């Protein structure tokens, strides 16, 4: 019996929410588009767009999605953009360059962490076992035993296969 009034109340609340005419907030409020002077020729918005997500930091996105996001930010008067060579190993910088190439250069400020380089190392990191020396010795002997077993197994398998074939 008490369930019926509760369901009616929920339905009335849903209807009231649907029919209420609340003004939708703008995607970017005026306080975010306030500008600060960088130099005599350029004012930048207080709110900028960072490029880590455009380097596929959290989720892999397509080039088209990245371009649409950058151009939408610029169309909504965001003119401060930040990226780095470390965001997606240069992917973010490349996407910024391609997208912002279509807009006038004087209309935005692009900052990057230019002193960082993305050279890749070809050396493997050293294996450091943080354990007691006895356990380290045991693990190394176990590894050596596995390698010797693999060599012996390969040798015996090929020796028997060549003998059986002839």
Instruction: Show the DSSP H helices in the chain as ranges.
Output: 3-19, 63-75, 91-100, 133-165
Start-to-end CA distance of the chain, whole Å, equals 90
Q: Which residues contact 107 (CB under 8 A, 6 or more apart)?
A: 74, 79
Please indicate, yes or no, whether residues 102 and 34 belong to a single structural domain of this protein.
yes
Query: Is 16 part of a structural domain of the chain?
Result: no
Q: What's the domain range around 47?
A: 30-112
Q: Are residues 158 and 96 in the same domain?
A: no
Give me 11's structure tokens.
């339905």
CB of 118 closer than 8 Å to CB of 84? no
44 and 80 belong to one structural domain: yes
What's the whole-model pTM score? 0.50
Please state the domain count of the chain: 2
CA–CA dist 73, 37 (Å, integer): 19
pLDDT in tens, 114-166: 665 555 454 545 555 466 777 778 888 888 899 998 888 888 887 776 666 66
Question: What was the pLDDT predicted at 124?
Answer: 46
Name the nearest CA neighbour of 93 among 102, 104, 81.
Answer: 81
Tens digit of each residue's pLDDT (9 = 90 or more) over 24-62: 555 555 555 666 776 667 788 888 899 988 888 888 999
Asked, for residue 25, whether it belongs to a domain, the answer is no
Q: Are strands 42-45 and 35-39 parallel, antiparallel or unpaired?
A: antiparallel
Residue 19 belongs to a domain: no
């Amino acid at each position: 019996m008490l369930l019926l009034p509760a369901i009616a109340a929920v339905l009335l609340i849903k209807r009231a929410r649907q029919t209420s005419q609340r003004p939708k907030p703008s995607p970017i409020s005026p306080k975010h588009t306030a500008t600060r002077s960088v130099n005599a020729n350029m004012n930048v918005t207080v709110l900028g767009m960072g490029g880590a997500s455009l380097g596929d930091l959290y989720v892999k996105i397509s080039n088209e999605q990245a371009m649409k996001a950058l151009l939408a930010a610029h169309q909504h008067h965001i003119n401060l953009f930040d990226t780095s060579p470390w965001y997606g190993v240069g992917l973010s910088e490349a996407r910024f360059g391609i997208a912002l190439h279509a807009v006038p250069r004087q209309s935005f400020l692009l900052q990057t962490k230019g002193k960082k380089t993305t050279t890749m190392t070809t050396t493997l990191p050293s294996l450091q076992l943080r354990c007691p020396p006895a356990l380290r010795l045991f693990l190394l002997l176990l590894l050596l035993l596995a390698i010797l077993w693999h060599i012996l197994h390969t040798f015996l398998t090929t020796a028997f296969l060549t003998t059986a074939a002839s």
